[in-house]
A and B are shown apart, each in its own frame.
Chain A
Amino acid sequence: SQKIEQNSEALNIQEGKTATLTCNYTNYSPAYLQWYRQDPGRGPVFLLLIRENEKEKRKERLKVTFDTTLKQSLFHITASQPADSATYLCARRGNRDDKIIFGKGTRLHILP
């Protein structure tokens, strides 16, 4: 079965540095991967989608990569700020499935 694996340990990054989060998947490459942000007590908020034929996607201070050889996506936040502290979820949908399969998320703490 398809799995999305994220490092569930919290990641502490100094303010101003680049935070890099990792998402690995198993079996065949999904049509695309998505990244969400989730704050405590709230629902996930969509951030970025990257397709398997795209190597990189950017949005303001966010950058996502998709490496089908490594079966991995990296999520970068440059010039990180304390307000970036949250749990970040990686998710996939298959070519035919409509449901989203989420990883457990990585908690990011940006230290002032």
Chain B
Amino acid sequence: NAGVMQNPRHLVRRRGQEARLRCSPMKGHSHVYWYRQLPEEGLKFMVYLQKENIIDESGMPKERFSAEFPKEGPSILRIQQVVRGDSAAYFCASRRAGLADNEQFFGPGTRLTVL
């Protein structure tokens, strides 16, 4: 049973380009979370999605950032017109349906570098 998969593992973009980060949850998991970890900072919640629905996006910047979790395929975190401050590690976590305190399993992260 594969764990949470994220790709790419490393992504380099120039300022103004778009970044697309993908997350495939564990098999049977229908809840996905995205977190961002800035250098020397803790992980910060960005967005929580279930299939085809955004449940909580309170941690996501209002502009340039969007997330989706379609019925088929991976969850996508999209950052438009990237800036240097977007450089960070982005982690995805998934859990199965049921109680909210079901364990969240984290992926290896995507390290985004904006030049």
Contacts and interface: CB of A to CB of B under 8 A. Distances in A.
Is A bound to B? yes
Interface of A: 4, 31-32, 41-46, 49, 89, 93, 97-105
Contacts of B33: 99-100
B41 A100 contact: no
B88 to A, nearest CB: 13
Nearest to A49: B101
B106 interface: yes
B18 interface: no
Interface residues of B, number: 25
A102 B57 CA distance: 17
B66 interface: no
B101 A93 contact: yes
| A-B pairs, 4 with minimum CB distance | A43-B106, A99-B45, A104-B42, A102-B42
Contacts of B106: 43-45
11 contacts: A4-B42, A41-B108, A44-B43, A46-B105, A89-B43, A93-B100, A98-B100, A99-B33, A99-B48, A99-B56, A102-B44
Interface of B: 4, 33, 35, 40-45, 48, 55-56, 58-59, 91, 93, 100-101, 103-109
Contacts of B107: 43
Given A89-B43, A99-B48, A43 B91 contact: yes
A97 B43 CA distance: 16
